[in-house]
Amino acid sequence: MVALLSTNVEPVDRNAVVRTLSVAIAGATVAALGIAFAGLGFRPDSTTTRALIYLAIKLAFAIGVVGLAMIYLMRLARPGGERMISPLFVAAPFLAVVVLAAISLWSAPPAHWGRMIVGDDWLECLLSIPIIAIVPFAVSIWAVRKAAPTNLVRAGAFAGLVAGGVSAMSYALHCTDDSLPFIALWYGGTIVLCTLAGAALGPRLLRW
């Protein structure tokens, strides 16, 4: 009987999780870009050299967050995957932008610090990134549920981290606040909020 049953067992596709998550996040990125464009529009000075430089910095930060978080999320989606990784490396983009922000503040007169940190649209950033992140987060959770994560808090947190990074990447195409302290605080802070929300919701949404 055992021999008969074993003949019908199909080999496990170890790359299925990677493919599912990759396709899901790619689709979520397109959706987030569409939401940002429809709701906010692109920044009007996007063709100037200065705007392109700071847009590249914002995108590099957000893409770095998404790329590293995706690596961890793909591992966490597998049973026992949390034992194979240390999540500390994913903090690298945050540390990099904080260091750049500190250098920027140090080189500027103290009278300018408040404007550099708060910017013009801090409230819009604070609201927009978490709102845009809803769709990428839902898609990430759907993809992770296709696998079998065992650490639901951490898997939810990294799904939120991916979603926050995708949302920040989309919002960057609209945002005209370009100072590095603003990026570190409001982009980084809202991505962290998305991560915490994912950690809180993960056990409910990913329960088998």
- pLDDT at site 4: 43
- pLDDT at site 18: 82
d(CA 136, CA 123): 21
Q: Which residue has the higher pLDDT, 43 or 86?
A: 43
- 15 confidence band (pLDDT: 50, 70, 90): confident
3-state helix, strand, coil in the chain (%, to 5): 75, 0, 25
- 83 confidence band (pLDDT: 50, 70, 90): low
| CA 13 to chain CA centroid, nearest Å | 26
- What pLDDT digit, counting tens, does each position of 110-134 carry? 999 999 999 888 999 999 999 999 9
Average pLDDT over residues 166-182: 94
Average pLDDT over residues 15-44: 90
Q: Which residue has the higher pLDDT, 83 or 62?
A: 62
- pLDDT at site 17: 76
d(CA 167, CA 192): 12
Angle, alpha carbons 122-184-44 (nearest 5°): 55
| Cβ-based burial of 12 (10 A; exposed 0-12, middle 13-18, buried ≥19) | exposed
Average pLDDT over residues 93-101: 96
d(CA 38, CA 171): 11
d(CA 181, CA 156): 28
Question: Lowest-confidence range among 75-79, 87-91, 164-168, 172-176?
Answer: 75-79
- Whether the pLDDT of residue 137 is over 80: the answer is yes
- pLDDT at site 208: 73
Q: Which amino acid appears at position 173 of this protein?
A: L
d(CA 132, CA 170): 8
Counting residues of the chain whose pLDDT is more than 70, the rounded percentage is 89
Phi, psi angles (nearest 5°) of residue 63: -65, -40
Q: Which residue has the higher pLDDT, 80 or 43?
A: 43
Average pLDDT over residues 169-190: 95
| Domain assignments of the chain as residue spans, ordered by start | 24-205
Q: Which residue has the higher pLDDT, 44 or 55?
A: 55
